[in-house]
Amino acid sequence: MVAGHLREKRGYFHIVLSYTDENGKRQTPSKTTGLPVKGNKKRAEAMLMEARQSKELELKKLQEEKEAKENGTPQNPNPQDEAKIPFTTFMLDWLEMMKPNLDKPTYASYSFCIKSKIVVYFDEFFPGLALCDLTPKHIQDYYTYEMKERKVSANTVIHRHANIHKALKYAVKIGLINSNPSDRIERPKKEKFVGSIYNQEELEQLFEVVKGDPIELAVILGAFYGLRRSEVVGLKWNAIDFKQKTITIRHTVTQVTLDGKSQIIQKDRTKTKSSYRSLPLIPPFEELLYRLKAQQEMNRKMCGKGYCNDFREYIYVNEIGELIKPGYITQHFPLVLKKNGLRKIRFHDLRHSCASLLYANGVSLKEIQEWLGHSDISTTSNIYTHLDFSSKIASANAIISVFPTE
């Protein structure tokens, strides 16, 4: 397996690979990405992954050729012959090749997209279509079908395009095809996200109706602290400093479906480096935590051996000590809203409501960025551009005095 990391050198990202070559010697080559360090972390990480996968393909091919030579078997077939494999078979092979280099949530997303959507479509409408015969129209027709017949969003199609484009890019790199047909299609225009938010009065109503409900902790963490669902479920007792009055976000729990089976992924890292953050522990939340801690101790005594002790370090557990799953929040939250006659929003919209409330109370976008744990202020600005309207009004009022009047 090819390992690798990024190194900062003279203000630029450099890729450093580490692997054992076909002769058994350890190699650690380094090359520049040409990308300045500032603002290019994600692009550099993508180039690192690409370099690792390319080197793995190269080493695999060299190993196969070496074994074929030693065994006296024929060499690999002509790349043009290999390109005659069905497009769907190639996509599945590429997915399997990617697996060791992706974390589970990312791989689960790739797997669902390719196995359940792309492969299903092409096997139904273009069975046996060879990789070398794939045209831009085939791909364009697939995107049109998804949007018109299956009513998926433009953003979803863009995600699927990313998978197809990346896979075909590798097909070009290893000589299976001469050009990437997905380079010549028209992607749908990305839909701008506009979050639905609760105002202060609606939030106060929500806090009131969830008191004592299992969703209470998630609502408070989402609406006041702006935590993501994975951060809510991943909160541990050791993240709370009752003396210094701080709460530290550093662990996440996600739920993915892989090959039809639901899996819980626990990570000692957040979505991005900036997502690791410390926030003040406010008195109402501190009181709730003490109440939850006392309740958990009581439940542990009452259940005895029937109590699950696997998640004792976690705050968000049920009556018998089992970890509250992320899916529970998604399913239970709308039921609470409907039962109490509250306006329908998504749980993640509580995060947007938090940002809106912060901005309304004079908190700058830079401070909101740090509170929410965005890696770049442009992310905050792009999502919450509607929050900046009040500053435009202030600008208009500042120059209204020079507006000509009769």
Structure tokens at 304: 């005895």
Whether the predicted pLDDT of 273 surpasses 80:
no
pLDDT of residue 28: 86
Whether the predicted pLDDT of 61 surpasses 70:
yes
Reported as a pLDDT band with limits 50, 70 and 90, residue 392 is low
In 199-348, alpha helices (H): 200-209, 216-223, 229-233, 283-303, 326-339
The total number of residues written for the chain in this structure: 406
pLDDT of residue 170: 93
Reported as a pLDDT band with limits 50, 70 and 90, residue 345 is very high
pLDDT of residue 163: 95
Structure tokens at 86: 């069905």
Q: Are 107 and 98 in contact (CB under 8 A)?
A: yes
pLDDT of residue 67: 76
Average pLDDT, rounded, for the chain: 85
Q: For 10-81, where are the E strands, in sequence order?
A: 12-20, 26-27, 30-36
DSSP state of 200: H
CA distances from 262 to 257, 259, 406 (A): 4, 8, 70
Reported as a pLDDT band with limits 50, 70 and 90, residue 48 is confident
Reported as a pLDDT band with limits 50, 70 and 90, residue 274 is low
Reported as a pLDDT band with limits 50, 70 and 90, residue 79 is low
Q: Are strands 240-241 and 246-249 parallel, antiparallel or unpaired?
A: antiparallel
What is the Cα–Cα distance from 288 to 278, expressed in whole angstroms? 18
Residue 164, class by beta-carbon neighbours within 10 Å (0-12 exposed, 13-18 middle, 19+ buried)?
A: buried
Reported as type and span, the H/E element at residue 6 is: strand 3-9
